[in-house]
Each structure stands twice: as C-alpha cells, then as structure tokens.
C-alpha cells in the first residue's frame, strides 16, 4: 500500500511542477477530479516522451548489456581457466548447473521479487530448463521459480554472444518470468503475462569480447497461475561462439559447476 501511495505522490509532484493546468484544476477548478484527469492526460500527451519514467513504470522487456557504441562489451573472467584433466575436462569442475528454487512475491504493479533464500537445490544439466524439471525439484505448496548458477567456460579468446529463448505451447493461462545474467549485469529480464497461445520468443543477443577463463552466468525461469507453479514451458540458453553466424543452444561443455565433494 505504501508503494501505491508513493507512486501517486510521484505523479502529483511531476504534474504540479511541470503542468500549470494541473495546478489550476486543484486550486480553482469547480470540478477538481475532472480537471486532474484532463490535466494528467494532457501532460502525458505533451511531455511523456521528454522525461524518463520511474523504474516501476518501465515496461518489462529485454535488456541488452553491451557497450554504448554497439561494440562488444569487455568482461573480466571471474576465475582463471583451470588446467585440463586427461579426459579433456576442466580440473575441479563438471558440466552443468547448480539449480535452486526460490520463492517469489508478485506485487500489484507486476514487480516480481525473487527471494534469495533457496527452498531446494539440485543439479541440472544441458542448455534447456523445463518447467517439469523445476517443479520436480521444487517444494509443493509454494510459489517459486527455478534458478541456475554456473560458469561459462571460455577456452578461446574472441567475441561471444548470449541470449535466451522461451517456449510454451498453448494451454491454461500462466505468467512466466525469464531472466539471464552474465558477470555483474543482466542480459534479459522479461515477464510474459497471461500466456494461453503458443509462445516461442528469442531475445536480443548481447555480445562480449572475452579472454580464456570462467565467467559467472545465471538464469531464473518459472511459470505460475494464481498461487500455483504450473507447466509446461521451457527456457533455453543460446550461445554464439567466435566465428558463429547464428546462436545455438549452449554446448555440453560450455557451462560448468564446481565438482561436488562426496563424503565417505
């Protein structure tokens, strides 16, 4: 409720400072409510494109993390590239993700807050993450999304491209969240609302100039209706390697996680 009144206060201040018709409607108008509505509509029509909206008013969509001039962004590796084992794998690492489920809270303004406390944890392999896998690894009776954390293993210097794809066949209504982060930035942040028809969407790719090393990469994905996590749905990590003309699902050895130490 406090956030709602905060937004009203923000709109009031902007209109009071920038639109005389709004001020006059409050002070002199015989019908203040009508005057406020008319002034607000006029202000949005004349000034809406000149002043950036607050964060809560920005539509959900893809956020491309790149350099201002369109050149690939340079990101420093999170860890050095480990030595190779005899079988060609990276010492101390194995292919795949560390997957977790996290509770979410959806506000009246459709802000999705993914809580940091993990409900469950499980290993996950491959470039695609299916809602069936997330639900199987989740906790019944709670509203949550799946998250994956790992490292992009860069073995050859060059320009890489990263993106994500969401697919959901026609079915019962669901809202779906999809996020993709790389390094300290976010590449994709999207909320698909009331999906009932076939959905197949690839997001704009972000390009990075990378040196050999391990780079942190993570995602969040989940679909729900009311207070229930639902399927079907699938998110796929897309990677373009140096010299590639198109982005394809990540290779089996693109993503690695630290090896789990088994206790005896």
Same domain, 16 and 103: no
Residue at 114 is within a domain:
yes
Q: Which of 31, 56, 81 is at the close of a domain? A: 56
Same domain, 23 and 76: no
Residue at 93 is within a domain:
yes
Same domain, 52 and 66: no
Residue at 263 is within a domain:
no
Residue at 264 is within a domain:
no
Same domain, 204 and 83: yes
pLDDT of residue 108: 83
Same domain, 140 and 180: yes
pLDDT of residue 66: 47
Same domain, 46 and 87: no
Residues of the chain with pLDDT under 70: 1-70, 261-264
Same domain, 73 and 88: yes
pLDDT of residue 1: 52
Q: Which of 17, 32, 56 is at the close of a domain? A: 56
Express each pLDDT in 153-200 by its tens digit.
999 999 999 999 999 999 889 999 999 999 989 999 999 999 999 999
Same domain, 15 and 43: yes
Parent domain of 118: 60-258
pLDDT of residue 171: 87
pLDDT of residue 11: 54
116: CATH: 2.60.120
Residue at 207 is within a domain:
yes
Q: Which of 56, 80, 95 is at the close of a domain? A: 56
Residue at 22 is within a domain:
yes
pLDDT of residue 9: 53
Cα within 13 Å of Cα(200), Cβ side: 3
pLDDT of residue 119: 93
Number of domains in the chain: 2
Residue at 91 is within a domain:
yes
Same domain, 6 and 64: no
Residue at 230 is within a domain:
yes
Same domain, 78 and 173: yes
Express each pLDDT in 162-174 by its tens digit.
999 999 999 889 9
pLDDT of residue 140: 83
Same domain, 25 and 126: no
Same domain, 95 and 163: yes
């Amino acid at each position: 409720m406090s956030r709602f009144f905060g937004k009203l206060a923000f709109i009031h201040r902007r209109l009071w400072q920038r639109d005389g018709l709004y001020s006059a409607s409050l002070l002199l108008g015989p019908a203040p409510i009508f005057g406020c509505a008319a002034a607000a509509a006029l202000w949005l029509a004349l000034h809406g494109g000149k002043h950036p909206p607050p964060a809560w008013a920005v539509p959900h969509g893809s956020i491309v993390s790149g350099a201002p001039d369109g050149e690939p962004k340079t990101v420093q590796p999170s860890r050095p590239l480990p030595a190779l084992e005899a079988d060609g794998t990276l010492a101390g690492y194995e292919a795949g993700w560390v997957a977790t489920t996290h509770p979410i809270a959806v506000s009246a303004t459709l802000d999705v807050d993914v809580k940091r406390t993990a409900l469950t944890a499980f290993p996950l392999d491959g470039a695609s993450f299916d809602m069936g896998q997330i639900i199987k690894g989740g906790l019944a009776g709670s509203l949550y999304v799946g998250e994956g954390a790992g490292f992009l293993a860069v073995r050859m210097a060059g320009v890489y491209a990263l993106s994500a794809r969401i697919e959901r066949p026609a079915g019962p209504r669901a809202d779906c969240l999809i996020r993709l982060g790389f390094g300290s930035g976010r590449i994709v942040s999207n909320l698909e609302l009331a999906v009932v028809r076939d959905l197949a969407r690839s997001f704009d790719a972000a390009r990075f100039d990378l040196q050999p090393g391990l780079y942190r990469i993570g995602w969040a994905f989940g679909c729900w209706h009311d207070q229930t996590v639902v399927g079907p749905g699938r998110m796929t990590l897309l990677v373009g390697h140096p010299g590639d003309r198109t982005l394809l699902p990540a290779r089996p050895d693109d993503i690695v996680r630290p090896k789990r130490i088994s206790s005896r």
